[in-house]
A and B are shown apart, each in its own frame.
Chain A
Amino acid sequence: MTAGYTADEMMAVTAARALSDGMTCFVGIGLPSEAANLAKATHAPGLVLIYESGTIGAKPGALPLSIGDGILAETADTVVSVPEIFNYWLQPGRIDVGFLGAAQIDKFANINTTVIGQDYADPKVRLPGAGGAPEIAASCRQVVVVVRQSLRAFVERVDFVTSVGFGDGPGCRERLGLTGAGPRKIITDLGVLEPDPLTFELTLTGVCPGVSVLDVQAVTGWDLSVSASLRELPPPAAAELAALRALRAATPVTEGAM
């Protein structure tokens, strides 16, 4: 690529920048874990990484393949049981940001990781399911989603609501008693979407260098609105790219994974 970095690297760097030093972050595996570890290796050394396996304050140094790799337990400040991580740590709203992936996401940022197709009993594609995501999306103070943009992933209405974003629009989270603020940023390989403050519909607020609004709209399954303050996202700095590539190089398995 002429830019000297790939779209996936741009996405990881943008996602990492969404995290500030000193935050507590509940990390999903895959793209979110990569971005969270990149943030910790660069501008946010004090970022507290929390994995659903019960590892609080993990400092893996390489990307774990699973949420329960030994390196997470060995480097954690403390390791707690699975009931405890959900009941004592996540549920009361102690955690600043939940970092999630998605198979499908809709215009109100509801996430589907369960089934593709309208018939739950006879799905077109059976996906892994909920895991920790529903309660991460409900209870973290805010949520950031990292997902590659495509027509398959960005749909008008998800086939199955695994994790609630803004439900059917304004007032829905309050009605459901969800304590966190919900998704604040959806970071993709093309740009950034954020909920409109009034309608809660996801709106394009940032595009990656070299990406046009039309490029993004062409792979979004609803009529994507564009924010009046749309900006071009700053490209990765050399130090960020170096740190990301070092993380990937230190990771034991990459071939065939993801």
Chain B
Amino acid sequence: MAEIVSLAEAVESAIHDGDTVAMEGFTHLIPHAAGHEVIRQRRRDLTLVRMTPDVIYDQMIGAGCARKLVFSWGGNPGVGSLHRFRDAVQHSWPCPLELEEHSHAGMANRYVAGASGLPFAVLRGYSGTSLVLHTPNIAEIACPFTGETLTAVAALRPDVTVIHAQRADRAGNVQFWGITGVQKEAVLAARRSVVTVEEIVDVLDPRPGAVVLPSWTVGYVALVPGGAHPSYALGYSSRDNDFYVAWDPISRDRGRFSQWLDEHVFRADEGQPDPALSGGGGAR
């Protein structure tokens, strides 16, 4: 059964130095507040896994939490590059960053294999790309029935998966809807999990298209309203597009980034998003 705890307690219990950590949410429901808590607790040597390591991992990489990144698209969506990510890859600042690089289809299938308890997944993908030359977790495989050559990708089994959801009930059952991404697979593939939620309610009434993770599949649930900002939670907040644009100049400069981190992460209290960053929030 999921334990309902504070975000700080959840991160302290679930995430340790050297862990492989997946924080998922495909543009929608990105667990930014949890990322900030990991930075505040100064976790180190993490292998960070995420299909789209956008601003959340740019911040964690810049803060020195990561040793390795497993990913398929590392940009600031609609804006451009991730400058902390680039600085780590090109100049090893603040520390070297090892890369393991995939396509979205490959990453999605790696989570599916992990959730399914299989060692690998099969897809039509990667053929003829340079990715196969640089990524050891991709291999050719012959179909045992037709002989067709297909691609196998190794299962992802994170130590911890962290997601943000709209709601949980008091028993720790979790519900999220809208763009649900790969979060269900990522939680089921992981040994431990942390879910931050906008709201804890008495009863989870059904929602069209909602994914429900029963309490017994979840490790920790923490109430963090606005915890996806600058991403959004459908029905609760809007995507703060201005923040993504504003992030570009902040992240280009090491000094400006470090100052931002001091002001908005290290000095901000957990569960109390900095008002300067909060995009309104509250159910609508």
A105 and B149 alpha carbons, distance in the complex (Å): 27
Q: Are A66 and B108 in contact (CB under 8 A)?
A: no
B67 at the interface (CB under 8 A from A): no
B5 at the interface (CB under 8 A from A): no
Which residues of the other chain, B, contact A86 by a CB distance below 8 angstroms? 104-105, 108-109, 123
Which residues of the other chain, A, contact B108 by a CB distance below 8 angstroms? 82-83, 86-87
Q: Are B134 and A120 in contact (CB under 8 A)?
A: yes
Q: Are B125 and A135 in contact (CB under 8 A)?
A: yes
Closest to B126 in A: A134
B202 at the interface (CB under 8 A from A): no
B258 at the interface (CB under 8 A from A): no
Contact status of A82 and B103, CB under 8 A, knowing A70-B232, A176-B128: no
Which residues of the other chain, A, contact B80 by a CB distance below 8 angstroms? 258
Smallest CB–CB gap between B183 and chain A, Å? 9
A220 at the interface (CB under 8 A from B): no
B259 at the interface (CB under 8 A from A): no
Question: How many Cβ-Cβ contacts under 8 Å join chain A to chain B?
Answer: 187
A139 at the interface (CB under 8 A from B): yes
Q: Are A162 and B129 in contact (CB under 8 A)?
A: yes
B86 at the interface (CB under 8 A from A): yes
A257 and B76 alpha carbons, distance in the complex (Å): 10
Q: Are B123 and A161 in contact (CB under 8 A)?
A: no
B180 at the interface (CB under 8 A from A): yes
Q: Are B77 and A65 in contact (CB under 8 A)?
A: yes
Closest to B150 in A: A177
Which residues of the other chain, B, contact A69 by a CB distance below 8 angstroms? 27, 239
| B contacts, CB < 8 Å to A | 26-28, 51-52, 71-75, 77-82, 85-86, 89-90, 101-105, 108-109, 111-112, 123-131, 134, 148-149, 178-182, 184-185, 209, 211, 232, 234, 238-239, 241-242, 244-245, 248
List 20 additional A-B contacts (Cβ < 8 Å) besides A70-B234, A131-B73: A29-B78, A68-B181, A86-B105, A91-B125, A114-B131, A120-B134, A128-B74, A129-B101, A130-B102, A130-B103, A131-B103, A132-B104, A161-B129, A162-B130, A162-B131, A255-B245, A256-B79, A257-B79, A258-B79, A258-B80
The 9 closest A-B pairs by CB, nearest first: A68-B27, A128-B75, A65-B78, A131-B73, A66-B77, A164-B128, A86-B105, A253-B241, A83-B108
